[in-house]
Chains A and B, each alone.
Chain A
Protein backbone atom coordinates (compact mmCIF):
# COMPACT_ATOMS: atom_id res chain seq x y z
CA UNK A 1 0.00 0.00 0.00
CA UNK A 2 1.19 3.41 -0.93
CA UNK A 3 2.00 5.63 2.06
CA UNK A 4 0.21 8.62 0.54
CA UNK A 5 -2.86 6.52 -0.09
CA UNK A 6 -2.69 5.17 3.42
CA UNK A 7 -2.59 8.60 5.00
CA UNK A 8 -5.13 10.19 2.69
CA UNK A 9 -7.41 7.23 3.37
CA UNK A 10 -7.18 7.90 7.08
CA UNK A 11 -7.85 11.60 6.62
CA UNK A 12 -10.82 10.97 4.34
CA UNK A 13 -12.27 8.52 6.81
CA UNK A 14 -11.84 10.91 9.70
CA UNK A 15 -13.46 13.68 7.69
CA UNK A 16 -16.50 11.55 6.88
CA UNK A 17 -16.80 10.65 10.54
CA UNK A 18 -16.63 14.30 11.55
CA UNK A 19 -19.38 15.19 9.07
CA UNK A 20 -21.59 12.57 10.70
CA UNK A 21 -20.73 13.89 14.14
CA UNK A 22 -21.65 17.38 13.01
CA UNK A 23 -25.22 16.25 12.35
CA UNK A 24 -25.80 14.66 15.73
CA UNK A 25 -23.82 17.31 17.53
CA UNK A 26 -25.78 20.13 15.98
CA UNK A 27 -29.03 18.55 17.11
CA UNK A 28 -27.62 18.21 20.60
CA UNK A 29 -27.23 21.96 20.81
CA UNK A 30 -30.58 22.71 19.25
CA UNK A 31 -33.08 21.39 21.79
CA UNK A 32 -35.92 23.27 20.13
CA UNK A 33 -35.69 20.76 17.31
CA UNK A 34 -37.03 18.05 19.61
CA UNK A 35 -40.12 16.48 18.13
CA UNK A 36 -41.30 14.33 21.02
CA UNK A 37 -44.92 14.67 21.91
CA UNK A 38 -45.60 13.97 25.54
CA UNK A 39 -48.76 12.01 25.37
CA UNK A 40 -50.98 12.28 28.40
CA UNK A 41 -50.04 15.90 28.94
CA UNK A 42 -50.57 17.06 25.41
CA UNK A 43 -54.27 16.26 25.60
CA UNK A 44 -54.89 18.84 28.29
CA UNK A 45 -55.29 22.51 27.66
CA UNK A 46 -53.50 23.52 30.87
CA UNK A 47 -50.10 22.08 30.13
CA UNK A 48 -47.80 22.34 33.12
CA UNK A 49 -44.78 24.45 32.41
CA UNK A 50 -42.19 21.97 33.53
CA UNK A 51 -43.12 19.30 31.03
CA UNK A 52 -41.50 21.42 28.37
CA UNK A 53 -38.47 22.61 30.24
CA UNK A 54 -36.11 20.83 27.88
CA UNK A 55 -37.66 22.89 25.13
CA UNK A 56 -37.03 26.35 26.46
CA UNK A 57 -37.11 28.04 23.17
CA UNK A 58 -40.47 28.58 21.58
CA UNK A 59 -41.15 26.86 18.29
CA UNK A 60 -41.50 29.72 15.89
CA UNK A 61 -44.57 31.71 16.68
CA UNK A 62 -46.31 29.17 18.89
CA UNK A 63 -45.50 28.69 22.50
CA UNK A 64 -44.27 25.17 23.27
CA UNK A 65 -47.53 24.34 24.95
CA UNK A 66 -49.55 25.20 21.88
CA UNK A 67 -47.20 23.42 19.59
CA UNK A 68 -47.34 20.23 21.60
CA UNK A 69 -51.10 20.17 21.92
CA UNK A 70 -52.38 16.97 20.40
CA UNK A 71 -54.19 17.53 17.12
CA UNK A 72 -56.84 15.05 16.18
CA UNK A 73 -57.67 15.26 12.52
CA UNK A 74 -61.35 15.21 11.68
CA UNK A 75 -61.26 12.15 9.43
CA UNK A 76 -59.39 9.98 11.89
CA UNK A 77 -61.10 6.62 12.14
CA UNK A 78 -61.17 6.11 15.87
CA UNK A 79 -64.46 4.56 16.75
CA UNK A 80 -67.72 3.90 14.96
CA UNK A 81 -70.65 5.84 16.30
CA UNK A 82 -74.21 6.56 15.29
CA UNK A 83 -74.80 10.29 15.54
CA UNK A 84 -77.95 11.25 17.43
CA UNK A 85 -79.51 14.65 17.34
CA UNK A 86 -80.71 16.53 20.41
CA UNK A 87 -84.15 14.88 20.19
CA UNK A 88 -82.44 11.50 20.55
CA UNK A 89 -83.07 10.52 16.97
CA UNK A 90 -80.79 8.70 14.62
CA UNK A 91 -80.88 7.94 10.93
CA UNK A 92 -80.49 4.16 10.98
CA UNK A 93 -83.31 2.35 9.25
CA UNK A 94 -81.97 -1.08 10.04
CA UNK A 95 -81.49 -2.02 6.42
CA UNK A 96 -78.47 -4.18 7.23
CA UNK A 97 -76.22 -2.99 4.42
CA UNK A 98 -73.43 -2.19 6.85
CA UNK A 99 -73.71 -5.65 8.35
CA UNK A 100 -73.48 -7.17 4.90
CA UNK A 101 -70.52 -5.05 3.87
CA UNK A 102 -68.50 -5.54 7.00
CA UNK A 103 -65.65 -7.91 6.13
CA UNK A 104 -65.27 -9.42 9.54
CA UNK A 105 -68.65 -9.56 11.21
CA UNK A 106 -68.15 -6.56 13.41
CA UNK A 107 -71.66 -5.24 13.04
CA UNK A 108 -74.79 -7.06 14.00
CA UNK A 109 -78.24 -5.56 13.65
CA UNK A 110 -81.16 -6.81 15.65
CA UNK A 111 -84.27 -5.38 14.08
CA UNK A 112 -87.85 -5.34 15.16
CA UNK A 113 -91.12 -4.84 13.32
CA UNK A 114 -92.87 -1.63 14.21
CA UNK A 115 -96.39 -0.69 13.31
CA UNK A 116 -96.66 2.94 12.32
CA UNK A 117 -99.71 5.11 13.00
CA UNK A 118 -101.27 4.36 9.67
CA UNK A 119 -101.08 0.66 10.30
CA UNK A 120 -98.14 -0.19 8.09
CA UNK A 121 -95.50 -2.62 9.23
CA UNK A 122 -92.06 -1.13 9.25
CA UNK A 123 -88.60 -2.40 10.01
CA UNK A 124 -86.57 -0.60 12.64
CA UNK A 125 -83.51 -1.33 14.71
CA UNK A 126 -83.70 -2.69 18.19
CA UNK A 127 -79.97 -2.86 18.65
CA UNK A 128 -77.08 -1.91 16.41
CA UNK A 129 -74.27 -3.94 17.91
CA UNK A 130 -70.72 -2.91 17.16
CA UNK A 131 -67.95 -5.28 18.25
CA UNK A 132 -65.01 -3.03 18.35
CA UNK A 133 -62.54 -5.79 19.12
CA UNK A 134 -63.11 -7.20 15.65
CA UNK A 135 -63.21 -3.93 13.76
CA UNK A 136 -60.44 -3.23 11.27
CA UNK A 137 -61.54 0.36 10.62
CA UNK A 138 -61.80 -0.13 6.88
CA UNK A 139 -64.68 2.33 6.69
CA UNK A 140 -66.89 0.28 4.38
CA UNK A 141 -69.89 0.56 6.70
CA UNK A 142 -69.77 4.34 6.73
CA UNK A 143 -69.19 4.51 2.99
CA UNK A 144 -72.01 2.17 2.05
CA UNK A 145 -74.64 3.35 4.51
CA UNK A 146 -77.48 4.70 2.35
CA UNK A 147 -78.80 7.07 5.02
CA UNK A 148 -75.51 8.30 6.45
CA UNK A 149 -76.41 6.96 9.86
CA UNK A 150 -72.89 5.96 10.83
CA UNK A 151 -69.75 8.00 11.34
CA UNK A 152 -66.32 7.76 12.84
CA UNK A 153 -65.25 9.82 15.80
CA UNK A 154 -61.65 10.48 16.61
CA UNK A 155 -61.56 9.07 20.09
CA UNK A 156 -58.65 6.71 20.29
CA UNK A 157 -58.28 5.55 23.85
CA UNK A 158 -60.09 2.26 23.73
CA UNK A 159 -58.27 0.29 26.41
CA UNK A 160 -60.63 -1.57 28.71
CA UNK A 161 -60.14 -4.29 31.28
CA UNK A 162 -62.60 -6.72 29.82
CA UNK A 163 -63.06 -7.71 26.22
CA UNK A 164 -66.83 -7.72 26.48
CA UNK A 165 -66.72 -4.00 27.13
CA UNK A 166 -65.65 -3.55 23.53
CA UNK A 167 -69.07 -4.76 22.37
CA UNK A 168 -71.11 -1.62 22.08
CA UNK A 169 -74.67 -0.81 21.20
CA UNK A 170 -74.60 2.20 18.96
CA UNK A 171 -78.18 3.36 19.15
CA UNK A 172 -78.96 5.04 22.42
CA UNK A 173 -81.64 3.97 24.83
CA UNK A 174 -85.10 5.01 23.61
CA UNK A 175 -83.85 6.60 20.42
CA UNK A 176 -86.06 6.76 17.40
CA UNK A 177 -85.66 7.12 13.68
CA UNK A 178 -85.26 10.64 12.43
CA UNK A 179 -88.22 11.98 10.48
CA UNK A 180 -87.85 11.88 6.74
CA UNK A 181 -85.25 9.12 6.61
CA UNK A 182 -86.37 6.03 4.75
Chain B
Protein backbone atom coordinates (compact mmCIF):
# COMPACT_ATOMS: atom_id res chain seq x y z
CA UNK B 1 0.00 0.00 0.00
CA UNK B 2 1.27 3.35 -0.92
CA UNK B 3 1.46 5.83 1.86
CA UNK B 4 -0.95 8.67 1.71
CA UNK B 5 1.13 11.79 1.44
CA UNK B 6 0.29 15.22 2.65
CA UNK B 7 0.64 18.03 0.13
CA UNK B 8 3.56 19.48 2.02
CA UNK B 9 5.32 16.12 1.99
CA UNK B 10 4.99 15.95 -1.74
CA UNK B 11 6.39 19.43 -2.03
CA UNK B 12 9.42 18.36 -0.06
CA UNK B 13 9.94 15.17 -1.96
CA UNK B 14 12.67 15.06 -4.54
CA UNK B 15 11.65 14.20 -8.04
CA UNK B 16 14.57 12.03 -9.03
CA UNK B 17 15.26 11.07 -12.57
CA UNK B 18 18.08 9.00 -13.91
CA UNK B 19 19.81 10.46 -16.90
CA UNK B 20 21.62 7.49 -18.19
CA UNK B 21 23.35 5.05 -18.30
CA UNK B 22 21.55 4.93 -21.62
CA UNK B 23 20.57 8.44 -22.50
CA UNK B 24 21.12 10.37 -25.70
CA UNK B 25 22.70 13.35 -24.04
CA UNK B 26 25.26 11.71 -21.79
CA UNK B 27 27.30 10.71 -24.86
CA UNK B 28 28.21 7.39 -23.41
CA UNK B 29 27.50 5.33 -20.39
CA UNK B 30 27.35 7.74 -17.52
CA UNK B 31 24.53 8.16 -15.09
CA UNK B 32 23.42 11.48 -13.72
CA UNK B 33 20.97 11.27 -10.87
CA UNK B 34 19.09 14.52 -11.17
CA UNK B 35 16.79 15.85 -8.47
CA UNK B 36 14.20 18.10 -9.96
CA UNK B 37 11.73 20.61 -8.75
CA UNK B 38 9.38 20.77 -11.68
CA UNK B 39 11.73 21.51 -14.53
CA UNK B 40 14.38 23.04 -12.32
CA UNK B 41 17.47 21.07 -11.47
CA UNK B 42 18.22 21.03 -7.76
CA UNK B 43 21.07 18.59 -7.58
CA UNK B 44 23.09 16.50 -9.97
CA UNK B 45 24.90 13.46 -8.71
CA UNK B 46 27.12 11.86 -11.36
CA UNK B 47 27.74 8.13 -11.16
CA UNK B 48 30.55 6.93 -13.35
CA UNK B 49 32.41 3.71 -13.76
CA UNK B 50 30.20 1.92 -16.23
CA UNK B 51 33.13 1.46 -18.56
CA UNK B 52 35.88 1.34 -16.01
CA UNK B 53 38.45 -0.94 -17.55
CA UNK B 54 41.25 -0.52 -15.07
CA UNK B 55 43.71 0.94 -17.54
CA UNK B 56 45.96 2.11 -14.71
CA UNK B 57 46.10 -1.40 -13.33
CA UNK B 58 46.74 -2.86 -16.76
CA UNK B 59 49.59 -0.42 -17.29
CA UNK B 60 51.39 -1.80 -14.26
CA UNK B 61 51.76 -5.10 -16.07
CA UNK B 62 52.85 -3.70 -19.41
CA UNK B 63 56.05 -2.23 -20.75
CA UNK B 64 56.19 1.42 -21.73
CA UNK B 65 55.71 0.97 -25.49
CA UNK B 66 52.76 -1.25 -24.76
CA UNK B 67 51.08 1.32 -22.55
CA UNK B 68 50.65 3.65 -25.51
CA UNK B 69 47.93 1.64 -27.16
CA UNK B 70 45.85 1.73 -23.97
CA UNK B 71 46.01 5.48 -23.73
CA UNK B 72 44.19 6.12 -26.98
CA UNK B 73 41.34 4.16 -25.56
CA UNK B 74 40.85 6.61 -22.74
CA UNK B 75 39.97 9.79 -24.56
CA UNK B 76 39.44 8.42 -28.00
CA UNK B 77 38.93 11.88 -29.45
CA UNK B 78 42.37 13.07 -28.35
CA UNK B 79 44.23 9.85 -29.03
CA UNK B 80 47.37 11.58 -30.21
CA UNK B 81 47.60 13.81 -27.17
CA UNK B 82 47.07 10.88 -24.87
CA UNK B 83 49.87 9.01 -26.60
CA UNK B 84 52.02 12.09 -26.32
CA UNK B 85 51.54 12.27 -22.56
CA UNK B 86 53.14 8.86 -22.03
CA UNK B 87 55.78 9.34 -24.70
CA UNK B 88 56.85 12.70 -23.33
CA UNK B 89 57.00 11.36 -19.78
CA UNK B 90 59.19 8.46 -20.82
CA UNK B 91 61.40 10.69 -22.95
CA UNK B 92 61.71 13.16 -20.10
CA UNK B 93 62.63 10.41 -17.67
CA UNK B 94 65.23 8.92 -19.97
CA UNK B 95 66.52 12.34 -20.91
CA UNK B 96 66.63 11.65 -24.62
CA UNK B 97 66.43 14.30 -27.26
CA UNK B 98 63.92 13.49 -29.96
CA UNK B 99 64.50 14.56 -33.56
CA UNK B 100 63.13 17.90 -34.64
CA UNK B 101 61.06 16.28 -37.37
CA UNK B 102 59.20 14.24 -34.78
CA UNK B 103 58.36 17.38 -32.83
CA UNK B 104 56.94 19.02 -35.92
CA UNK B 105 54.85 16.01 -36.86
CA UNK B 106 53.62 15.57 -33.32
CA UNK B 107 52.54 19.17 -33.07
CA UNK B 108 50.69 19.04 -36.37
CA UNK B 109 49.04 15.76 -35.50
CA UNK B 110 47.97 17.07 -32.09
CA UNK B 111 46.42 20.13 -33.61
CA UNK B 112 44.64 18.15 -36.31
CA UNK B 113 43.31 15.92 -33.59
CA UNK B 114 42.16 18.96 -31.65
CA UNK B 115 40.25 20.24 -34.66
CA UNK B 116 38.69 16.83 -35.22
CA UNK B 117 37.70 16.61 -31.58
CA UNK B 118 36.19 20.08 -31.55
CA UNK B 119 34.28 19.29 -34.70
CA UNK B 120 32.78 16.22 -33.13
CA UNK B 121 32.02 18.21 -30.02
CA UNK B 122 30.35 20.87 -32.14
CA UNK B 123 28.07 18.42 -33.82
CA UNK B 124 27.22 16.65 -30.60
CA UNK B 125 26.56 19.94 -28.87
CA UNK B 126 24.28 21.03 -31.67
CA UNK B 127 22.46 17.77 -31.36
CA UNK B 128 22.11 18.19 -27.61
CA UNK B 129 20.35 21.45 -28.24
CA UNK B 130 18.11 19.84 -30.82
CA UNK B 131 19.74 20.97 -34.04
CA UNK B 132 20.31 17.65 -35.71
CA UNK B 133 21.75 19.05 -38.88
CA UNK B 134 24.88 20.19 -37.08
CA UNK B 135 25.70 16.59 -36.39
CA UNK B 136 26.07 15.72 -40.03
CA UNK B 137 27.97 18.84 -41.00
CA UNK B 138 30.48 18.29 -38.23
CA UNK B 139 31.01 14.67 -39.10
CA UNK B 140 31.33 15.52 -42.76
CA UNK B 141 34.15 17.95 -42.09
CA UNK B 142 35.86 15.59 -39.69
CA UNK B 143 36.17 12.97 -42.40
CA UNK B 144 39.14 14.57 -44.24
CA UNK B 145 41.10 14.66 -40.98
CA UNK B 146 40.42 11.02 -40.34
CA UNK B 147 41.53 10.28 -43.88
CA UNK B 148 44.76 12.15 -43.24
CA UNK B 149 45.26 10.12 -40.08
CA UNK B 150 44.47 6.89 -41.83
CA UNK B 151 46.92 7.62 -44.58
CA UNK B 152 49.82 8.22 -42.22
CA UNK B 153 49.06 6.20 -39.13
CA UNK B 154 47.00 3.33 -40.47
CA UNK B 155 43.88 3.89 -38.42
CA UNK B 156 41.22 6.49 -38.12
CA UNK B 157 40.24 6.84 -34.50
CA UNK B 158 42.68 4.97 -32.30
CA UNK B 159 45.98 5.47 -33.96
CA UNK B 160 48.75 4.48 -31.49
CA UNK B 161 51.02 6.60 -33.63
CA UNK B 162 53.54 7.91 -31.13
CA UNK B 163 56.10 5.70 -29.53
CA UNK B 164 58.58 6.64 -26.83
CA UNK B 165 61.32 8.37 -28.80
CA UNK B 166 59.45 9.09 -31.96
CA UNK B 167 56.74 7.81 -34.19
CA UNK B 168 55.51 4.43 -35.36
CA UNK B 169 56.31 5.25 -38.96
CA UNK B 170 57.08 8.25 -41.05
CA UNK B 171 54.34 10.46 -42.42
CA UNK B 172 52.91 9.59 -45.78
CA UNK B 173 54.42 11.51 -48.72
CA UNK B 174 51.02 13.06 -49.42
CA UNK B 175 50.61 14.24 -45.84
CA UNK B 176 51.57 17.87 -46.33
CA UNK B 177 49.49 18.23 -49.46
CA UNK B 178 46.43 16.71 -47.85
CA UNK B 179 46.74 18.83 -44.72
CA UNK B 180 47.04 22.00 -46.76
CA UNK B 181 44.02 21.01 -48.79
CA UNK B 182 42.09 20.40 -45.62
CA UNK B 183 43.03 23.74 -44.09
CA UNK B 184 41.93 25.49 -47.24
CA UNK B 185 38.64 23.63 -47.21
CA UNK B 186 37.99 24.11 -43.54
CA UNK B 187 38.75 27.82 -43.53
CA UNK B 188 35.96 28.13 -46.01
CA UNK B 189 33.52 25.88 -44.18
CA UNK B 190 34.02 27.05 -40.59
CA UNK B 191 32.05 30.30 -41.05
CA UNK B 192 29.13 28.08 -41.97
CA UNK B 193 29.18 26.73 -38.43
CA UNK B 194 28.74 30.27 -37.17
CA UNK B 195 25.91 30.92 -39.57
CA UNK B 196 24.08 27.77 -38.68
CA UNK B 197 24.49 27.76 -34.93
CA UNK B 198 26.53 30.53 -33.33
CA UNK B 199 24.52 33.44 -34.66
CA UNK B 200 21.20 31.72 -34.23
CA UNK B 201 19.00 33.59 -31.80
CA UNK B 202 17.56 30.41 -30.31
CA UNK B 203 21.03 29.05 -29.73
CA UNK B 204 22.22 32.25 -28.10
CA UNK B 205 19.19 32.36 -25.85
CA UNK B 206 19.82 28.76 -24.89
CA UNK B 207 23.48 29.25 -24.03
CA UNK B 208 24.11 32.80 -22.85
CA UNK B 209 24.09 33.20 -19.10
CA UNK B 210 23.64 29.47 -18.56
CA UNK B 211 25.87 27.44 -16.29
CA UNK B 212 28.08 30.24 -15.05
CA UNK B 213 31.26 29.37 -13.21
CA UNK B 214 33.50 32.15 -11.96
CA UNK B 215 37.22 32.18 -12.56
CA UNK B 216 38.11 31.57 -8.90
CA UNK B 217 35.73 28.66 -8.74
CA UNK B 218 37.08 27.26 -11.99
CA UNK B 219 40.64 27.32 -10.65
CA UNK B 220 39.60 25.90 -7.33
CA UNK B 221 37.66 23.09 -8.99
CA UNK B 222 40.36 22.46 -11.55
CA UNK B 223 38.13 23.06 -14.54
CA UNK B 224 40.61 22.98 -17.40
CA UNK B 225 40.62 22.97 -21.13
CA UNK B 226 38.26 25.03 -23.24
CA UNK B 227 35.71 24.80 -20.44
CA UNK B 228 38.10 26.42 -18.01
CA UNK B 229 39.20 29.03 -20.52
CA UNK B 230 35.57 29.95 -20.99
CA UNK B 231 35.66 31.01 -17.34
CA UNK B 232 38.77 33.08 -17.85
CA UNK B 233 41.15 30.56 -16.28
CA UNK B 234 44.33 30.72 -18.38
CA UNK B 235 44.97 27.02 -18.14
CA UNK B 236 46.35 26.25 -21.57
CA UNK B 237 49.28 23.91 -20.93
CA UNK B 238 50.58 24.74 -24.39
CA UNK B 239 51.29 28.23 -23.05
CA UNK B 240 51.97 27.52 -19.39
CA UNK B 241 54.31 24.57 -19.70
CA UNK B 242 55.11 24.26 -23.41
CA UNK B 243 55.92 20.89 -24.86
CA UNK B 244 56.40 19.80 -28.48
CA UNK B 245 56.92 23.03 -30.43
CA UNK B 246 54.33 25.17 -28.76
CA UNK B 247 56.90 27.62 -27.46
CA UNK B 248 58.03 28.31 -31.03
CA UNK B 249 54.72 28.79 -32.79
CA UNK B 250 52.58 31.85 -32.53
CA UNK B 251 49.05 31.33 -31.32
CA UNK B 252 46.58 32.98 -29.04
CA UNK B 253 45.17 31.47 -25.89
CA UNK B 254 41.41 31.87 -26.31
CA UNK B 255 40.03 33.33 -23.11
CA UNK B 256 36.52 34.45 -22.30
CA UNK B 257 35.50 36.02 -19.04
CA UNK B 258 31.79 35.21 -19.03
CA UNK B 259 32.09 31.64 -17.83
CA UNK B 260 28.80 30.59 -19.35
CA UNK B 261 27.95 27.92 -21.87
CA UNK B 262 28.27 30.34 -24.77
CA UNK B 263 31.78 31.32 -23.70
CA UNK B 264 32.80 27.69 -23.57
CA UNK B 265 31.32 27.26 -27.02
CA UNK B 266 33.17 30.27 -28.40
CA UNK B 267 36.48 29.11 -26.97
CA UNK B 268 36.24 25.90 -28.93
CA UNK B 269 35.27 27.61 -32.16
CA UNK B 270 38.18 30.02 -31.72
CA UNK B 271 40.52 27.18 -30.93
CA UNK B 272 39.75 25.60 -34.26
CA UNK B 273 40.95 28.79 -35.94
CA UNK B 274 44.03 28.88 -33.73
CA UNK B 275 44.83 25.24 -34.44
CA UNK B 276 44.65 25.92 -38.14
CA UNK B 277 47.02 28.82 -37.63
CA UNK B 278 49.50 26.58 -35.80
CA UNK B 279 49.34 23.93 -38.51
CA UNK B 280 49.88 26.50 -41.24
CA UNK B 281 53.00 27.76 -39.51
CA UNK B 282 54.51 24.30 -39.32
CA UNK B 283 53.30 22.34 -42.28
CA UNK B 284 55.76 23.76 -44.80
CA UNK B 285 58.75 23.63 -42.50
CA UNK B 286 58.86 19.99 -41.49
CA UNK B 287 62.60 19.28 -41.45
CA UNK B 288 64.08 16.15 -42.94
CA UNK B 289 65.44 13.59 -40.55
CA UNK B 290 64.68 10.46 -38.64
CA UNK B 291 61.19 9.77 -37.51
CA UNK B 292 62.37 8.18 -34.32
CA UNK B 293 65.26 8.54 -31.93
CA UNK B 294 67.52 5.63 -31.16
CA UNK B 295 65.84 3.69 -28.42
CA UNK B 296 66.90 0.61 -26.52
CA UNK B 297 64.91 -2.54 -27.21
CA UNK B 298 63.75 -2.68 -23.61
CA UNK B 299 62.95 0.66 -22.10
CA UNK B 300 63.66 0.93 -18.39
CA UNK B 301 62.94 4.13 -16.59
CA UNK B 302 65.21 5.24 -13.73
CA UNK B 303 63.74 5.03 -10.27
CA UNK B 304 61.62 8.01 -9.39
CA UNK B 305 58.53 9.93 -10.28
CA UNK B 306 57.95 11.59 -13.61
CA UNK B 307 55.06 13.55 -14.93
CA UNK B 308 54.09 15.44 -18.01
CA UNK B 309 51.27 17.87 -18.50
CA UNK B 310 49.58 17.72 -21.87
CA UNK B 311 46.74 19.80 -23.22
CA UNK B 312 44.17 17.49 -24.76
CA UNK B 313 41.10 18.71 -26.55
CA UNK B 314 39.15 18.82 -23.32
CA UNK B 315 41.65 19.83 -20.70
CA UNK B 316 44.82 19.09 -18.91
CA UNK B 317 45.94 15.50 -19.02
CA UNK B 318 48.71 14.41 -16.74
CA UNK B 319 50.62 11.23 -17.10
CA UNK B 320 52.29 10.51 -13.78
CA UNK B 321 54.61 7.54 -13.77
CA UNK B 322 56.18 6.15 -10.63
CA UNK B 323 58.98 3.85 -11.62
CA UNK B 324 60.98 1.41 -9.54
CA UNK B 325 63.59 0.88 -12.24
CA UNK B 326 61.93 -2.05 -13.94
CA UNK B 327 60.60 -2.26 -17.46
CA UNK B 328 57.08 -1.99 -16.04
CA UNK B 329 55.94 1.09 -14.18
CA UNK B 330 55.10 0.80 -10.50
CA UNK B 331 52.14 3.09 -10.86
CA UNK B 332 50.70 5.07 -13.71
CA UNK B 333 48.16 7.75 -13.08
CA UNK B 334 46.32 9.64 -15.73
CA UNK B 335 44.65 12.80 -14.57
CA UNK B 336 41.53 12.68 -16.64
CA UNK B 337 40.38 16.18 -17.53
CA UNK B 338 36.85 14.91 -18.05
CA UNK B 339 36.50 13.51 -14.57
CA UNK B 340 37.58 16.74 -12.95
CA UNK B 341 35.44 18.82 -15.29
CA UNK B 342 32.48 16.65 -14.42
CA UNK B 343 32.88 17.63 -10.77
CA UNK B 344 31.83 21.16 -11.68
CA UNK B 345 28.61 20.06 -13.34
CA UNK B 346 26.63 20.11 -10.13
CA UNK B 347 27.64 23.66 -9.25
CA UNK B 348 27.04 24.91 -12.76
CA UNK B 349 23.65 23.44 -13.34
CA UNK B 350 22.08 24.23 -10.00
CA UNK B 351 18.79 26.11 -10.38
CA UNK B 352 18.79 25.87 -14.13
CA UNK B 353 16.29 23.95 -16.20
CA UNK B 354 16.69 20.36 -17.24
CA UNK B 355 17.24 21.47 -20.81
CA UNK B 356 20.09 23.64 -19.58
CA UNK B 357 21.64 20.68 -17.80
CA UNK B 358 21.90 18.99 -21.18
CA UNK B 359 23.45 22.12 -22.67
CA UNK B 360 25.92 22.49 -19.81
CA UNK B 361 27.04 18.89 -19.82
CA UNK B 362 27.34 19.17 -23.59
CA UNK B 363 29.49 22.27 -23.27
CA UNK B 364 31.86 20.43 -20.92
CA UNK B 365 32.48 17.99 -23.76
CA UNK B 366 32.69 14.88 -21.64
CA UNK B 367 34.19 11.73 -23.03
CA UNK B 368 33.17 8.93 -20.74
CA UNK B 369 35.93 6.38 -21.40
CA UNK B 370 38.48 8.98 -20.34
CA UNK B 371 36.54 9.60 -17.18
CA UNK B 372 36.30 5.98 -16.21
CA UNK B 373 39.65 4.82 -17.60
Q: Classify A-B as touching or not with yes or no (CB < 8 A).
A: yes
A residues sitting closer than 8 Å to B (CB atoms) are 12-13, 16-17, 19-20, 22-24, 35, 73, 75-77, 101, 103, 136-140, 143, 152
Q: Decide yes or no: A75 and B152 within 8 Å by CB, A17-B202, A19-B195, A23-B195 being known contacts.
A: yes
A138 touches B69 (CB 8 A): yes
Chain B, residues 173-212, CB within 8 Å of chain A (1/0): the string is 0000000000000000000100111011110100000000
Question: A19 vs B192: C-alpha distance in the bound complex, in angstroms?
Answer: 10
Please state if B151 and A73 are interface contacts (CB–CB under 8 Å): yes
A24 touches B151 (CB 8 A): no
Segment at the A interface, from B60-68, B249-257, B345-353: B60-68
Q: Is B217 an interface residue (CB 8 A)?
A: no
- Which B residues, 6 to 29, have Cβ-Cβ distances below 8 Å to chain A? none
Closest Cβ of chain A: how far from B227's Cβ, in Å? Answer: 25
Are A138 and B154 in contact, with the CB atoms below 8 A?
no
The distance in angstroms between the C-alpha atoms of A23 and B151, with both chains bound, is 31
> Are B140 and A35 in contact (CB-based, < 8 A)?
yes
Q: Answer yes or no: B155 CB below 8 A from chain A CBs.
A: yes
A103 B155 Cβ-Cβ under 8 A? no
Cβ contact of A17, chosen from B62, B169, B200, cutoff 8 A: B200
Interface centre among B69, B143, B172 (most CB of A within 10 A): B69
Taking a contact as CB atoms closer than 8 A, the residue among A13, A22, A76, A136 that contacts B69 in the complex is A136
A140–B66 CB distance below 8 A = yes
> Contacts A75-B172, A77-B154, A140-B69: A23 and B196 contacting too (C-beta < 8 A)?
yes
Judging by beta carbons under 8 Å apart, are A77 and B155 in contact? yes
* Complex CA distance for A120 and B296, rounded to whole angstroms: 31
A19 to B133, CA, bound (A): 14
Interface of B is mostly: helix
Evaluate contact between A24 and B69: CB separation under 8 angstroms.
no
Q: How many whole Å from B209's CB to the nearest CB in chain A? A: 16
Contacting residues, chain A, for B158 (C-beta < 8 A): 136-137
Residues 147-164 of B, flagged 1 when their CB comes within 8 A of A and 0 if not, give 100111111001010010
How many chain B residues touch A (Cβ–Cβ < 8 Å)? 32
User: B354 near A: Cβ within 8 Å?
Assistant: no
Indicate if the CB atoms of B150 and A73 lie closer than 8 Å.
Answer: yes
Contact, CB under 8 Å: B155 / A76: yes
> Closest CB of chain B to A47's CB: distance in Å?
20
How far apart sit A16 and B163, CA to CA, in the bound complex (Å)?
Answer: 48
A-side contacts of B73, CB under 8 Å: 136
Interface pairs (6), CB distance under 8 Å: A16-B201, A20-B197, A20-B200, A73-B151, A137-B160, A138-B68
Give min CB distance, B238 to chain A, whole Å.
27
Report if A152-B154 is in contact (Cβ < 8 Å); known contacts: A12-B201, A17-B202: yes
Nearest chain A CB to B3 CB, angstrom units:
48
Which chain A residue has the least Cβ–Cβ distance from B139? Answer: A35
CA distance A3 to B143 in the complex (A): 47
CA distance A13 to B201 in the complex (A): 5
Bound CA–CA A138/B147 (angstroms): 18
For residue A103, which residues in chain B have a CB less than 8 angstroms away from its CB? 62, 66, 69-70
**CB-contact partner of A19 in B155, B168, B199, B202, under 8 A:** B199
Asked if A101 meets B150 with Cβ closer than 8 Å, knowing A20-B196, A23-B195, A143-B168, the reply is no
A13 to chain B, nearest CB (A): 4
Contact of B192 among A23, A73, A75, A77 (CB under 8 A): A23
> Could you tell me if A138 and B160 are in contact, using CB atoms closer than 8 angstroms?
yes
